[in-house]
């Protein structure tokens, strides 16, 4: 979505909720204007103050209409204020921590205390952000030290039972003035699950054509469940002339006691995600999901390796849709593997009970028993190459050549 289309979309959203963009945001900003910046900063603080006057309904996950309005107004004013701020800045010589301090001062918002010093406690089990909307506004700045001279501003704030966030990336234009390159945040939401909890990101290096992108991950706030969703997005600068948000994927069954960061690495043509997700093995709370992606022109595809070890691969192969599992299966045995995959999706409780090496090099067999280990077994024959796994066969009987000792207890990441 280019800048003009995005602007029209925003105007429609604002009209729906009965408010308009700040005056300085309704026209394209072209020069430094501290008066306009102060006006946007004041509107930002007014939205924050109005949101904090809305009483919280303990345990309610719905967002009141007035809170929806004020959260969106806060974001609109923030985006306009940041555009105005950077138009008044030189195009070099930034230090991230000094820039953060200056933004707090000029926006006239308090620096939040460290998490272990915040007054909101976690004694009721609802998390450190439980409280009024737009509390604990936090600004984090990252500078990219390469010829692009990018500056990323991540602004997060509290909502009941969680947090929300906005990522803004600025780049110097040909005229030397700063311009917005990426603006990524949640859409207006009437449930807290629509917010961007724990938004994390990495900016890719430039590829051979000079293109780059941002990979972002976030989860959804919720007061009660430890089984949530992990969202993965790729966004890219508007001036590349392609769809602004080029990739979105939702991973169900993420285990919320996993330790971030989930976004492990990024390159000019790919990235890696690693997180815990519910396992097919009932004896385990979770399984590690390793997800490598390749960015090829306008496509984003998952590539090998898709697991850390053969046991982890069996869990991933059995849990994922056949559309994915098919690509990780022996081409000459697809029909049989497809039937087995369907059967595994229909059954409930399974336990991994053995992992044995086979006489054939780089091949191993994983045994999984139904009914929490008391029922019939499935034997998964897996081949491991240098950087990939493949499912060769699934059988009701153990393979004669796979009689090595049971090494299941030695597998750390299952």
Identify the burial level of 113 via C-beta atoms within 10 angstroms of its C-beta, where 0-12 means exposed, 13-18 middle and 19 or more buried: exposed
Q: How confident is the model at residue 347 (pLDDT cuts 50, 70, 90)?
A: confident
pLDDT, mean of residues 294-318: 91
- Residue-wise pLDDT for 18-77, tens only, equals 444 444 344 456 789 999 999 999 999 999 999 998 887 777 899 999 999 999 999 999
- Mean pLDDT throughout 306-317? 94
On the question of pLDDT at 374 being above 50, the answer is yes
CA atoms within 13 A on the CB side of 89: 25
d(CA 286, CA 334) in angstroms, rounded, equals 28
Contact 292, 272 (CB under 8 A): yes
| 166 CB burial (10 A radius; 0-12, 13-18, 19+) | buried
For the cut 70, the answer to whether the pLDDT of residue 373 exceeds it is: no
Of 116-120, 283-287, 390-394, the range with the lowest mean pLDDT is: 116-120
Higher pLDDT, 122 or 229: 229
d(CA 406, CA 379): 13
Q: Length of the chain in residues, anyone?
A: 414
Rounded mean pLDDT, 223-250: 73
Mean pLDDT, to the nearest integer, of 231-246? Answer: 69
pLDDT value, residue 303: 94
Structure letter (DSSP) for residue 120: -
Q: Largest alpha-carbon pair distance within the chain? A: 80
Written as one string, the DSSP assignment of 277-307 is E--SBTTSS-EEEEEEEEEETTEEEEES---
The pLDDT of residue 134 is 92
Q: Which has more pLDDT, 126 or 62?
A: 62
pLDDT of residue 28: 54
Q: What is the mean pLDDT of the chain?
A: 85
Distance CA 221, CA 228 (A): 8
- Could you tell me the pTM of the whole model? 0.85
Residues 6+ apart with CB under 8 A from 115: 128
| CA atoms of 414 and 408, how far apart (whole Å) | 9
């Amino acid at each position: 979505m280019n800048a003009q289309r995005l602007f029209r979309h925003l105007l429609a959203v604002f009209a729906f909720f009965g408010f308009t963009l700040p005056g300085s945001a309704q026209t394209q900003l072209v020069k430094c204007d501290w008066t306009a910046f102060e006006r946007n900063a004041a509107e930002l603080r007014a939205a924050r103050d109005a949101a904090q006057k809305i009483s919280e309904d303990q345990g309610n996950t719905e967002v009141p209409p007035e809170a929806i309005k004020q959260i969106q107004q806060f974001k609109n004013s923030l985006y306009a204020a940041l555009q105005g701020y950077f138009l008044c800045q030189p195009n070099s010589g930034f230090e991230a921590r000094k820039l953060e301090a200056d933004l707090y001062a000029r926006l006239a918002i308090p620096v939040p205390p460290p998490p272990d010093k915040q007054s909101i406690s976690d004694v009721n089990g609802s998390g450190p952000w439980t409280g009024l909307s737009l509390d604990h506004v936090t600004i984090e700045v990252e500078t990219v030290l390469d010829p692009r001279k990018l500056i990323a501003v991540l602004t997060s704030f509290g909502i009941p039972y969680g947090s929300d966030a906005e990522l803004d990336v600025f780049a110097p234009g040909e005229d030397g003035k700063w311009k917005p390159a990426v603006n990524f945040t949640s859409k207006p939401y009437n449930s807290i699950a629509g917010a961007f909890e724990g938004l994390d990101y990495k900016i890719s290096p430039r590829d051979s054509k000079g293109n780059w992108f941002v990979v972002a991950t976030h989860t959804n706030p919720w007061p009660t469940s430890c089984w949530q969703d992990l969202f993965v997005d790729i966004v890219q600068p508007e001036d590349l002339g392609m769809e602004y948000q080029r990739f979105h994927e939702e991973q169900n069954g993420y285990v919320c006691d996993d330790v971030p960061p989930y976004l492990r690495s990024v390159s000019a043509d790919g990235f890696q995600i690693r997180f815990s997700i519910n396992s097919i093995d009932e004896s385990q709370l979770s399984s590690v999901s390793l997800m490598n992606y390749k960015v090829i022109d306008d496509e984003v595809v998952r590539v090998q390796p898709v697991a850390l070890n053969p046991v982890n691969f069996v869990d991933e192969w059995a849990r994922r849709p056949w559309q994915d599992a098919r690509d990780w299966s022996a081409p000459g045995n697809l029909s049989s593997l497809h039937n087995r995959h369907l059967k595994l999706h229909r059954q409930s409780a399974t336990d991994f009970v053995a992992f044995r090496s086979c006489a054939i090099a780089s091949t191993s067999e994983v045994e999984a028993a139904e009914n929490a280990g008391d029922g019939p077994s499935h034997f998964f024959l897996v081949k491991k190459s240098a950087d990939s796994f493949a499912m060769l066969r699934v059988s009701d009987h153990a393979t004669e050549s796979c009689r090595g000792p049971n090494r299941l207890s030695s597998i750390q990441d299952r």
